[in-house]
Chain A
Amino acid sequence: MTPSVRSRLWASATSFALGFGVGNYGVLQVPRPDQWVWIAVAVVLMLTGAAGVLFADTSRAVSFWAILGVEVFAVFTLVPLLWTFTVATTPEGATARTLLPQDISWSAFDGAISSGTLRSAATTSLLVALVATVVAVALAVPAAYALVRLQVRARRLVYGLVVAALLMPVLALAGPFADQLVSLGAYGSRLALVVPMLVVTLPLATWLCVTVMRDVPWTLLDAVRADGATRPQQLRRFAVPHLGPGVVAAALLVFVAACNDFALGAGLAPDRPSLPLPATLLVASRQVDGSSAVAAAGLLWLLIPLIVLLVLPRRINHLLGRSYR
């Protein structure tokens, strides 16, 4: 028996045992209709086990451990999302008690879309995030260029500062910022949120742009320059195709992060219209049928990162993975 066959058989056995356990627990402990979820998961796992035995000595490079892992990953990721959907579609006055939606009602989605409070909160979030992202990226691109390409003294110090700002608990700055805004008389204005929001966007933008810059084929720029290209030509032939996509992906990530910031927005804004969406959802969660409204608004808001992910899936994964390295 070759190692890969043995590995597949082990994977099958694990998968089968796991499926057997899940199926039994589901049948014995879980009431309907959620029982079907458990049974479905059990069936998939046991089928994986069976397939692993059947194709144990295939010559193709298939790893049943990987298949099992991806199945667990899918369940792990999707169950909470399904639950969020169930909470969001629970009819008014009812409480969701099962994972599978019992009685789908779209009223919470309607409410989230037509609610003036949530709309103005979303506008605030998008507006503040947009301005803070534009400013941050405009500052971050040259800074990252300098960090990667130019001889700068104290380069490591600057980079350390960026990472420190990226990782510090932003909440600690919310109190002093709020106090400052109150004494300036600017507390409660939408634009006053932009400056504090730079604490979130600027380090993130710089950090991501450094990765973008590191992946750029700079020799090409030298070649373009050697060809005697003018500045606009350098821009068109080098910067736009090689820098552009990376910077756009970084900007989108920064934008999403700024949209999703909670601590600063919740601390620095009093109420509508300047309270950003995440903080508004905290207020909404305490009201009657609040969970449905929060879940519905959260799923709608999830469309922003989803679109970003769908447009540039490879680049986003690459950028995030490489940035952490």
Chain B
Amino acid sequence: MAGVAAAAMTCAPLAACGAADKAVPYLPVITWQVGPDRVDAEALAQTCNDQAGGDYRIEVEQLPTDVSERHALLTRRLLAHDDSIDLMSLDSALTTEFAEAGFLAPIPAAQASALSEGVTPAALAAASHDGRLVVAPWFLDPQVLWSKGSTAERAGLDTTKPISWDDLVAGAQRLGVTIEIEDRDGSGLPEWVNGLVAGGGGSLVSGTGRAARAGLDSAGGREAASIVELYQGAGVGPGPTADAVTRFAGAGGGFLVAPTSAISDPALSAVQADMRVAGYPTVADASVAPLAGVGLAVPAHASDLDQQAAFTVIECLTSPTSLQALATVSQHTPSRIGLLDDPAVAGGFRSAEVARASATTGVTVPAVAAWANVVDAIDETWRPLAGVTQDATPRTSQAEVQAALDGTIR
């Protein structure tokens, strides 16, 4: 609750209170809505609370895990000017929609330059709208290829060079292990498709606003569908699933396509030490990793006082100390990528080299307001994976994605 709680300050003699009332220090309570990322938000909030002394107090509130539910709930709360949101961990995919809807408070000019300093271009673009920073960039994880122990070598894959999907699938099939693809919140499939299309030289969506065009019925789209078809036909895994990490840790797991942060998952504690990392599998020649992350945003409807406090909180959450914790504890790739060179981080971050390379070559989801509807359209046309064919799927999916972008019936 964004209530303003008076600090404990007793004022016994009534007569003396009149003037003193104004001087009572107020303690803004900042409710921070967090998503299902791997950040230990409570710990970060605690650190910031301690540092702040009495300037503010952060309270963490959890949003739904499922991406559609989270999107719907956040949208409804913001439409209702819900005062239980003072700060949000906003999925980078939602920046455009929420900025266009006028939900986001502008970042004070004084802070904007500090927040964008050293941030990768992709992360900066994912936090901006119309050339202005609307969200504080926080982390943007590239997906990487995790493997257990010597699985990659045994499968005949050279992890020092980019591995293609073809080789990966063939190797896994030979060894009889699975390639798990992580999908923590329901956005796994669209991100996969987006990455594959981009890897094939196309782009899922080009243009902006209602003029945006879907690009699935193209060479890139067919390339993407052919890889899904290959993966599915080889029977090397169930596709993007919520329990990919657990399955990877199990006996049959060999590879895991997941963000850098996956390694911090408690389900992997047994195999963590033995995990190796390689770049995202390639479609053509280049490795184009899906990039997805979270920025910190302040709702436009919050009161000035709360906004002020929230931006102070952002300052703390984007401070080097907080980002170090973000990188070393939860293994998220900070948007301020230079931090990975920091000696304090270098030892603790498991995928620094790959992450650094992928952060520049990777691709975020298209910056269109209708992205949430595109997610539904892709889910609708690419599931079940067994039904995907390179001849039919790109065409049917093209129509649905275009309808989602145009706002027409699907």
Judged by CB atoms under 8 Å, the answer to whether A and B touch is yes
| Contact A188 B66, CB 8 Å, known A270-B76, A271-B76 | no
Q: Which residue of B lies closest to A271 (CB)?
A: B77
Q: Which residues of chain A in 267-325 are interfacial with respect to chain B, using CB atoms and an 8 Å cutoff? A: 269-271, 274, 283, 286
Would you list which residues of chain B between 56 and 112 have a CB under 8 Å from chain A?
66, 69, 73, 76-77, 79-82
Using known A-B contacts A270-B76, A271-B73, A271-B76, determine if residue A185 contacts B66 with beta carbons closer than 8 Å: no
- Bound CA–CA A182/B76 (angstroms): 10
B77 contacts which chain A residues (CB < 8 A)? 188, 270-271
A271 touches B79 (CB 8 A): no
Q: Report A-chain residues with C-beta under 8 Å of the C-beta of B79.
A: 182, 187-188, 270
Q: Tell whether, in the assembled complex, residue A270 and residue B82 are in contact, meaning their CB atoms are under 8 Å apart.
A: yes
Specify which of B69, B73, B81 is in contact with A188 (CB 8 Å cutoff).
B81
State A185–B80 Cα separation when bound (angstroms).
7
- Bound Cα distance from A271 to B77, whole angstroms: 7
Contact B69 A286 (CB under 8 A): yes
Closest to A272 in B: B84
User: Which listed residue (B66, B80, B82) contacts A286, Cβ 8 A?
Assistant: B66
In the bound complex, CA of A283 to CA of B79 (Å)? 18
Which of A182, A271, A283 meets B82, CB within 8 Å? A271
Nearest A residue to B80 via CB reads A188
The interface size bin for chain B is under 10
Which residues of the other chain, A, contact B81 by a CB distance below 8 angstroms?
Answer: 185, 187-188
Which B residues are in CB contact (< 8 Å) with A270? 73, 76-77, 79-80, 82
Known contacts A187-B79, A188-B82, A286-B66; 11 further A-B pairs (Cβ under 8 A) = A182-B79, A188-B76, A188-B79, A269-B80, A270-B77, A270-B80, A270-B82, A271-B77, A271-B80, A271-B82, A286-B69
Bound form: Cα–Cα A269–B79 in Å: 10
- Residue from A187, A188, A286 with most neighbouring chain B CB atoms (10 Å): A188
Could you jot down 15 A-B contacts, CB within 8 Å? A187-B81, A188-B76, A188-B77, A188-B82, A269-B80, A270-B73, A270-B76, A270-B79, A271-B76, A271-B80, A271-B82, A274-B80, A283-B69, A286-B66, A286-B69
The 9 closest A-B pairs by CB, nearest first: A188-B80, A270-B76, A270-B80, A187-B80, A270-B77, A271-B77, A187-B79, A182-B79, A271-B76
Neighbouring B residues of A188 by C-beta, 8 Å: 76-77, 79-82
Chain B contacts of A274 at CB under 8 A?
A: 80
Neighbouring B residues of A271 by C-beta, 8 Å = 73, 76-77, 80, 82
CA distance A283 to B65 in the complex (A): 12
Tell me the bound Cα distance from A286 to B82 in angstroms: 23
Interface residues of B in 212-236 (CB under 8 A from A): none
User: CA separation between A157 and B80, bound complex, in Å?
Assistant: 38
Among residues of A, the one whose C-beta sits closest to the C-beta of B83 is A188
Most B Cβ at <10 Å: residue of A188, A269, A270, A274: A270
Complex Cα distance A78/B80, Å?
A: 42
CA–CA, A187 and B76, complex, Å = 9
A185 to B82 CA separation, bound complex (whole angstroms): 11
Q: A149 CA to B211 CA in the complex, in Å?
A: 61
Complex: how many Å from CA A270 to CA B66? 17
Closest partner residue, chain A, to B301 (CB atom): A185
Contacting B at CB under 8 A, from A228-286, are 269-271, 274, 283, 286
Residue of A nearest to B75 (CB): A270
Task: Report the minimum CB–CB distance from A222 to chain B (whole Å).
Answer: 54
Residues of chain B within 8 A of A269, CB atoms compared: 80
Which of B69, B76, B80, B82 is the most central at the interface, judged by chain A CB atoms within 10 Å of its CB? Answer: B80
Contact with A along B175-210 (1 / 0, CB 8 A): 000000000000000000000000000000000000
> B64: shortest Cβ distance to chain A, in Å?
8
In whole Å, how far is B222's beta carbon from the nearest beta carbon of chain A? 35
What sequence of 0s and 1s flags, for each residue 177-195 of chain A, a beta carbon within 8 Å of any chain B beta carbon?
A: 0000010010110000000
Residues from chain A with a CB closer than 8 A to the CB of B82 are 188, 270-271
- Complex CA–CA separation, A185 to B73 (angstroms): 17
- Interface positions of A from 207 to 225, Cβ below 8 Å from B: none
Which residues in window 133-174 of A have CB below 8 A to B?
Answer: none
User: B67 to nearest A CB, angstroms?
Assistant: 13
**A274 to B66 Cα, complex, angstroms:** 22
Question: How long is the Cα–Cα vector from A274 to B82 in the complex, in angstroms?
Answer: 11
A79 to B293, CA, bound (A): 49
Q: Which residues of A contact B80 (CB under 8 A)?
A: 187-188, 269-271, 274
- CB of B98, distance to nearest CB on chain A (Å): 15
Report how far A283 CA is from B72 CA in the complex, Å: 11
Residues of B within 8 A of A286 (CB): 66, 69
Question: Which residue in chain B gives the minimum CB-CB distance to A178?
Answer: B79
**How far, in Å, is A272 (CB) from chain B's closest CB?**
9
A188 to B82, CA, bound (A): 8
Q: How far is the CB of B270 from chain A (nearest CB, A)?
A: 23
B16 to chain A, nearest CB (A): 39
Q: Measured between alpha carbons, how far is A188 from B80 in the docked complex, in Å?
A: 5
Least Cβ–Cβ distance between A216 and chain B, in angstroms: 45
- Smallest CB-CB separation from B76: which chain A residue? A270
In Å, the complex CA distance between A212 and B82 comes to 43
Query: Which chain A residues border B66 with CB–CB below 8 Å?
Result: 286
Q: How far is the CA of A252 from the CA of B195 in the complex (A)?
A: 58
Cβ-closest chain A residue relative to B69: A286
Q: How far is the CA of A254 from the CA of B146 in the complex (A)?
A: 60
> A168–B308 Cα gap in the complex (Å)?
48
CA distance A283 to B66 in the complex (A): 12
CB distance from B80 to the nearest CB of A (A): 3
Q: Which residue of B lies closest to A182 (CB)?
A: B79
Chain A: minimal CB distance from B116 (Å): 32
Bound form: Cα–Cα A170–B239 in Å: 40
Residues 270-298 of B at the A interface (beta carbon under 8 Å): none
Closest residue of chain B to A188, judged by CB?
B80
* Chain B residues, Cβ within 8 Å of A182: 79
Minimal beta-carbon separation of A252 from chain B (angstroms)? 31
